[in-house]
Structure 1
Amino acid sequence: MPFRPFPSLKHAPSLAEVNGSIRVPKSGWRRFLAFLGPGYLISVGYMDPGNWATDIAAGSQFGYSLLFVILLSNLMAVLLQSLGVRLGIGTGLDLAQACRQSYNRPVNVILWLACELAIIACDVAEVIGTAIALQLLFGIPLLMGTLITICDTFLLLLLINRGFRALEAFVITLLLVIMVCFIIQIVAVQPQFHGILKGFIPSTDIVKNPQMLYVAIGIIGATVMPHNLYLHSSIVQTRAFEPTHKGRRQAIQWATVDSTIALTLALVINAAILILASAAFHQTGHTDVGDITKAYHLLAPILGSDMAATMFAIALLAAGLNSTLTATLAGQIVMEGFLNLRFPPWIRRLITRGLAIIPVIIITLLYGDKGTEQLLLFSQVILSMQLPLAIIPLILFATDQKKMGAFVTPRWMAVLAWAATVLIITLNLKLLSDYL
C-alpha cells in the first residue's frame, strides 16, 4: 500500500458546516471544558446495541470470564482514538481525507467500500437495538419500529443545525440516562465482587474455546469500531484552537484527555452489562441468554422487580438513539473524505440509514425476531473483520515523520498500536480457521 506525503492540495475542511465552530478560551478551566464533547460522541460507539448483544451473550454463557476482553478492547480503543486525535489536529485532515490524498484511486475505493460496509453493519445493530427497545417499552412491532428509526436521521440534522454543542449535550444527556439505569440494575442484582475481580484476569480458555473466542471477537468488533477512527479525526476539528505549534499540541493533549475520560465511562457501562448478565443469568442457570429480548423478559422474574426490566429497555433506547447519530455522521465524513463528494446532509444520512434498514427488514420478514437478534451479533463480527483496514492506514499516517512533523506519534505508542493490530488480525484468523 504505497503512500506519499500529504500534498499541498486544497481541500474542504472536514465537516465544513461545523469545523472550527466552537470557541476555545486562551486559559483557565473553561479552556478544558471547551475540549470536552467529541470523546463522548466517540464513546457512544463503544456502548451501542451491538455491545449489548455481545456483552449479554458473554455474561450469560461464560460468567465474568470475558471482562478481561472488555478491558483489553477498551485500552486498545483509548490508544487508537488518541492516534485519530493526533492526525486530525496535527494535520487538519480526517482519516478519510488523509487516505484520499495519499493512496491511489483503486486503494481508496477498496478502503471506502470496506468502511461503508462497517458503517452499515454498525447501523444495522443500532436499527435493531432501537426497534427492540420500542417493542419492549411500547409494544410496537419490530418491523414498524425499524421503519420509525428513519426519523433518527432528521433528529441529527435538527441538532447539528442548532450547533455542534447541542448535539454533544444531547448525547451526554442520554449517556447519563444509560449510566443511571445500570446503576439501579447493578444494585438490584448484587453481583459477586470476587468473581468480577477474577474476570479481569486473562485466561487461556478464551483462545482454546471456539465459542468463547467467537463472542470475544464480537466484543472487540463491538468496542473498537472502524468508523469511530474516521469520526474522531474529524470532530476534534470543531474546536477553534490556535493554528500554531503550541495551540495544536495543547489541543491534542486536551482532546486526548477528553476521549480517555469518555472511554472510561464506556468501559464501566460495558462491564456493567456483562456483570448484570452474569449475575442475573449465568449464576441462576440461564446460560443460553444470547439476545436482548430474552434478557429483558427474564430480568423481572429473576430480580423480582419490573423496574429493573424497564430500566434495561430505557437504557437500550437511549443507546440506540445515541449510536445512530454518530454512525450517520461518520457516514457523511467517510463519503466526503474518500470521494470528495458532498451531498446535502439529510440525503447522505438517509442513504446510510436506508442501507441498514433493508437487511433488517428482509431478515425480520424471513426469520422473525430471532433472526434479527442473530444478525445483531453477526454484525459485530463483521466490524471486527474490517478493523485492520482502518487501523493500518491510521497508524501509518500517525507514525510517519514526513506527514506528521512535530506531532508524529512517539515510538512507544507506535509499538503498542502495532501490537494491538497484530492481536486483532491474529484473533480474526483464529476465528476463521475454527469455523471453516
Structure 2
Amino acid sequence: MERSRLKDEGPPGDGAYSSVSSPSTPSEQDNRFSTYYEEKVPIPEDANQMFSFRKLWAFTGPGFLMSIAYLDPGNIESDLQSGAKAGFKLLWILLVATIIGLLLQRLAARLGVVTGMHLAEVCNRQYSTVPRIILWFMVELAIIGSDMQEVIGCAIALNLLSVGRIPLWGGVLITITDTFVFLFLDKYGLRKLEAFFAFLIAVMAISFGYEYVLVKPDQGELLKGMFVPYCSGCGPVQLEQAVGIVGAVIMPHNIYLHSALVKSRDVDRKNKREVKEANKYFFIESSIALFVSFLINVFVVAVFAEAFYNRTNDDVLQQCNQTGSHFNYSKLFPSNGTLEVDIYKGGVVLGCFFGPAALYIWAIGILAAGQSSTMTGTYSGQFVMEGFLNLRWSRFARVLLTRSIAIAPTLLVAIFQDVQHLTGMNDFLNVLQSMQLPFALIPILTFTSVSTIMNDFANGLIWKVFGGVLTLVVCAINMYFVVVYVTNLDNTALYVVASLLSVAYLLFVGYLVWHCLVSLGLSCLDFRSSVRHSELEEEEETDAAS
C-alpha cells in the first residue's frame, strides 16, 4: 500500500485533531505571497463562555470574503432577470439556494479548520497525478469564467457612469488596474484588507438598497414569493431562470476559497475544544455574511419584479424617449419585442423610469461587485494553483496571468460586437461554471467524510446522506441548465462536439463519485490506495499482521 503523506500529530483521543499538516509555515513564506499566508489573527481567551462577541469579531472576515462570490456581476444579472421575467415568484428559489450554499460552505470551513489545509491541498495528497491535474484544470476554468464576468461587470459599470463616453473596450482595459489595486491593498495587512471588502459590500447594500426604497416593492408579494414555494403561470422561461439562480449562486471555486480563508485564524488544531469553537464561530459568521448577501440579492430581484415584470419594450421605449437621448434606446429595446434586461439595460431602464440618480447608483453597485469579486477570485486562483501543483507564484504573476486570460476574449467581443453580445457572454460563463460544480462538491463531501482526515469531526451518517443527496440535486439542476443552453444554440456541429466532450466529462465525474462512495462506506471495492490512511493506522495494521 502507498504510504500516505498525511500524518497524524498524535494518538487518537490525546488532543490531536489535525490529520494533515500544512506544507509550509508562515516563516517560510516571503512577502511576494498573500497576507493570508503571512498573518494569523489571534483569538482572545474568554474562558467558560458559551458565546463571546470578542471571539466572533476575531473570526469575522473569511465568511464575508466568501460571500462576495454570491454578489458578483453574474449573480446580479441572474437576480434582475429573475425579477423581470418571473416577478417575485422565484424568491424562494434564491432563499433555498443560499441555504444550500451555506451548508456547503460549512463543509469547506470545517475542512480548513480541522486539517489546517485547504481543499486543493487535500486533493493534491489524496488523488493520483492524472485526476489531480484534470481537477485543477477544471477548477481553473471556473475561476477564469468568473473573472471574465467581473471584467464585463466593471466595463459596463464604467460605461454607464460615463453615460457611454467610456466605450466598453475602454472599460475592459481599465480593469487591468485591478491588478495594481489588489497588490497595493494586500500588503497593508489582513484585517485592513478584510475591512476594505466589508466597505465594498456596504457600498453594494446601500446602492441596491437605495433602488429598493425608490421603487417601493409590494411587501406582501415579496414575502409570499420568498416563503411560499409556488410559481403559478410559469413556463419554460421561468423554469430556466430558476435553474439559472442555483447555478449563479453556488460557485465551485468558492468552496476552495473558503477552505483556505479560514486558515488565517490562529487556532491550535491539537486542541479539540479550540477546533470545535472555531467551527462554531465560522459557521455563525458565514451565516451572517450570507444573510447580508441574500438581502442584497433580494433588493435586486424585488426592484425589477416590481418595476419591470410584464412590461414590454414599447413601454420602456416610450418612457426612455421622454427622458433624453443619452443612449440608443431604439437599438436596446426594439419595438414590439419582449423586454430582455441585463446589467447594462437594467441600469438604462432604471435611469429612464426613476431618474439619472438611479442609473448612477446602480452602476456604482455593479462596479463594487466587480471589483470585490475580482480580488477574491485572485485569491481563489492562488490557492488552487499552489494546492494542486505546488507552484508558488508571486502575487503579481498570478494576478497578471488570470487578468490577461479574462481580458483577452472579453476585449475582442467588446471591440467587434455590441453590448448585447458582451452581456450575453454571461449566459455562457454561467454554464461553464455550472459544469465545474461537481469538481468542488464531490471532493469536499468525500474528504469531510473520511475519519483519517477529519478524525472526530468527520461527517456523521445524516450529513453523509444529506450531503450526498444535496450534491446530486445541485449537480443535476446545473446539468439541466447546461443541456438547455446547448439545445438553444441550435447547431448540429456543437451537438456533436458537446456529445464527445460529455463522454469524457461524465467518465471523470464517475471516477470522483466512485472515490466518494468508497469514502462513505457504500462500496465493497478496495480503494484504500486512493482514500489514504494515516501513517498511524498503517503501523497498527502492520503490527496486527505480524
**TM-score range normalised by the length of the shorter chain:** over 0.9
| 8 A contact 1:62–1:282 mirrored in 2 | yes
**1: CA distance between counterparts of 2:25 and 2:140?**
21
1:297 to 329, 348, 352: 348
2:266 to 240, 245, 264: 240
1:171-207 deviation line (CA, Å, top 9, x unaligned): 001111111122221111011122212322323679x
2:177 to 132, 144, 151: 151
Greater relative contact order structure (CA < 8 Å, 6+ sep): 1
1:239-272 deviation line (CA, Å, top 9, x unaligned): 1123321111111111111111101111111111
**1: CA distance between counterparts of 2:103 and 2:94?**
14
Query: Helix, strand or coil for the counterpart of 1:18?
Result: helix
Which residue number corresponds to residue 303 of structure 2? 276
- Asked if residue 45 in structure 1 is aligned to residue 69 in structure 2, the reply is yes
Aligned partner of 1:172: which letter? Answer: A
Which residue number corresponds to residue 258 of structure 1? 285
Aligned partner of 1:240: which letter? Answer: D
RMSD: 2.1
Inter-CA distance 64–154: structure 2 relative to 1 (3 Å threshold): same
Aligned partner of 1:67: which letter? Answer: L
> TM-score, structure 1 length as denominator?
0.94
Aligned partner of 2:357: which letter? Answer: M
Which residue number corresponds to residue 334 of structure 1? 384
Kindly name which structure, 1 or 2, has the bigger radius of gyration based on alpha carbons: 2
1:358-397 deviation line (CA, Å, top 9, x unaligned): 1111222332211110002321222122111110000011
- 26-35 or 65-74, which moves further after superposition? 26-35
Aligned partner of 1:248: which letter? Answer: V
Inter-CA distance 317–4: structure 2 relative to 1 (3 Å threshold): farther
| 8 A contact 1:300–1:307 mirrored in 2 | yes
Which residue number corresponds to residue 113 of structure 1? 137
**2: CA distance between counterparts of 1:41 and 1:167?**
10
Inter-CA distance 17–322: structure 2 relative to 1 (3 Å threshold): closer
1:312 to 362, 368, 377: 362
Which residue number corresponds to residue 529 of structure 2? none
| Deviation for aligned residue 1:4 | 9.1
User: When the two structures are aligned, how many residues end up with a matched partner?
Assistant: 432
Which residue number corresponds to residue 58 of structure 1? 82
| Deviation for aligned residue 1:30 | 2.1
| Deviation for aligned residue 1:310 | 1.7
- Asked if residue 385 in structure 1 is aligned to residue 435 in structure 2, the reply is yes
List gaps (5 residues or longer) in structure 2.
8-20, 27-32, 47-51, 314-337, 488-546
Which residue number corresponds to residue 197 of structure 2? 171
2:36 to 3, 8, 18: 18
Which residue number corresponds to residue 334 of structure 2? none
- Asked if residue 194 in structure 1 is aligned to residue 220 in structure 2, the reply is yes
> TM-score, structure 2 length as denominator?
0.75
| Deviation for aligned residue 1:112 | 0.5
Inter-CA distance 204–274: structure 2 relative to 1 (3 Å threshold): closer
**2: CA distance between counterparts of 1:432 and 1:231?**
24
- 105-114 or 136-145, which moves further after superposition? 136-145
**2: CA distance between counterparts of 1:125 and 1:181?**
20
Q: Which has the higher helix share?
A: 1
Superposed, which structure 2 residues align to 1:335-354 within 5 Å? Answer: 335-354=385-404
Aligned partner of 1:192: which letter? Answer: D
Inter-CA distance 339–273: structure 2 relative to 1 (3 Å threshold): same
- Asked if residue 131 in structure 1 is aligned to residue 181 in structure 2, the reply is no
Query: Identity across aligned pairs (percent)?
Result: 37
| Deviation for aligned residue 1:233 | 0.5
List gaps (5 residues or longer) in structure 1.
none
| 8 A contact 2:152–2:422 mirrored in 1 | yes
| Deviation for aligned residue 1:143 | 0.6
Query: Helix, strand or coil for the counterpart of 1:57?
Result: helix
